[in-house]
Structure 1
Amino acid sequence: MTPTLARTPPLAEIARIPELIEGAQRFLDEDVHMARHYLERISALFAPAPSGPIYLAERPAPPPAPVKGGLAAWQMQKVLAYVESHLDKTLSTEELAGVTRLSTGHFCRAFKASMGETPHGFIMRQRIRRAQILMVQSRETLSQIAIACGLTDQAHLTRLFRRTTGTTPMQWRRHWQGEI
């Protein structure tokens, strides 16, 4: 059985469509870049399946112009680099706030304004993106991949993966390893 990986978004993503539309409407007059960001996220849910592996957890680059109430460009770059280099470890919002030299509360609000999602949601999606890359590029077990992505075990990876992509890691891996 080949899993459906695009065209029909996972239920968790379908549930977020009203939130994404609201975000696009909210920023339409204030910040065209951020409105475009929300609209691209919505359209990505319904895009046809590409020919190569798709990494559903990928996100478009943050908008080039800083968002009012959001992180400054240097703060965003530092946070993204820090997350990428520490995905195999436990990451807390306190750590990320320290990287940006902001209080935890202010950091969380600014991050959400800039990225359209919470720091935790972003980190979890990046963990799934890394897991997808490792599943296609290596022969490591799902348990090893889960640990390499900062998750506790294979069950944690499977729960999070299914919630994010709508399929299990094993189904996703079998489908895309057969394509390569």
Structure 2
Amino acid sequence: MLLNAIEKPATAGHSLPPYLLELLGQARRSIEVDPGFTRRCLDEVSTLLGSADAIVIDRDIVEPQSVPEPTKFTKGGLAPWQLKRVRAYVEEELDGTILIEDLAIVAELSPGHFCRAFKASTGETPHGFIVSQRIRRAQRLMLDTNDTLSQIACACGLTDQAHLTRLFRRVLNETPLAWRRNWRTA
């Protein structure tokens, strides 16, 4: 049965983590049937956590915080300052071509060492990270603008709408047009 309203804990004796887990569970159960309710659940969780960027919507929105910022060194990984600089560089250059060699220069490492260290630190390849960032930006633009998918693809550093569609389908198992329609009507 689908819930029509967000249920808050009945008593003050409930601890916050179970309530958050319940909200996330309600969101997950309703994501395909009622995206609007899912958004309300996630907005409530966001409010409780104090950060809208901390929310992951199952498979429909790429996790914004996909690269963790380690507080200590990962053996064989990047130092926190290197990871921070690489993330900032990727965000700045997302609308253009990003080469591994350029990322390695930003991190002050050789390209081969950089790729191994990035994977050790984040669990994904630099290319995979860049693709997820491009898809995340495309999702934001699809929700926030009325630009065509072709324009959005170019703004995300992709060659054309077909390229966007291929990557989007690979990551989210859905076309950008279908995703946009689902989330715009919610």
TM-score (norm 2): 0.68
Give the letter aligned to residue 93 of structure 1. Answer: I
Does 1:66 find its partner at 2:66? Answer: no
Q: Which has the higher contact order (CA 8 A, sep 6+)?
A: 1
**Which segments of structure 1 move beyond 6 Å, counting only runs of 4 or more?**
none
Q: Helix, strand or coil for the counterpart of 2:159?
A: coil
Does 1:141 find its partner at 2:148? Answer: yes
Does 1:98 find its partner at 2:105? Answer: yes
Number of residues of Structure 1 aligned to a counterpart in Structure 2: 134
Does 1:56 find its partner at 2:62? Answer: yes
Structure 2: segments with no counterpart, 5+ residues? 1-23, 40-56
Q: Helix, strand or coil for the counterpart of 2:75?
A: coil
Structure 1: segments with no counterpart, 5+ residues? 1-43
Give the CA deviation at 1:55.
Answer: 1.8
Structure 2 CA distance for aligned equivalents of residues 123 and 60 of structure 1: 11
Give the CA deviation at 1:61.
Answer: 2.9
Give the letter aligned to residue 152 of structure 1. Answer: T
Structure 2 CA distance for aligned equivalents of residues 118 and 56 of structure 1: 16
Q: How has the CA–CA distance of structure 1 residues 168 and 146 changed in structure 2, closer, same or farther, with 3 Å as cutoff?
A: same
Do the aligned partners of 2:69 and 2:84 also contact (CA within 8 Å) in 1? no
Match of 2:8 in 1: none
Does 1:81 find its partner at 2:88? Answer: yes
Does 1:123 find its partner at 2:163? Answer: no
Give the letter aligned to residue 151 of structure 1. Answer: L
Does 1:110 find its partner at 2:114? Answer: no
TM-score (norm 1): 0.70
Residue 161 of structure 1, aligned match among 145, 163, 168: 168
Match of 2:177 in 1: 170
Structure 2 CA distance for aligned equivalents of residues 150 and 168 of structure 1: 18
Structure 2 CA distance for aligned equivalents of residues 127 and 64 of structure 1: 26
Give the CA deviation at 1:60.
Answer: 5.8
Structure 1 CA distance for aligned equivalents of residues 67 and 86 of structure 2: 16
- Counting aligned pairs with the same residue, the percent is 59
Asked which structure has the greater CA Rg, the reply is 2
Structure 1 CA distance for aligned equivalents of residues 96 and 184 of structure 2: 27
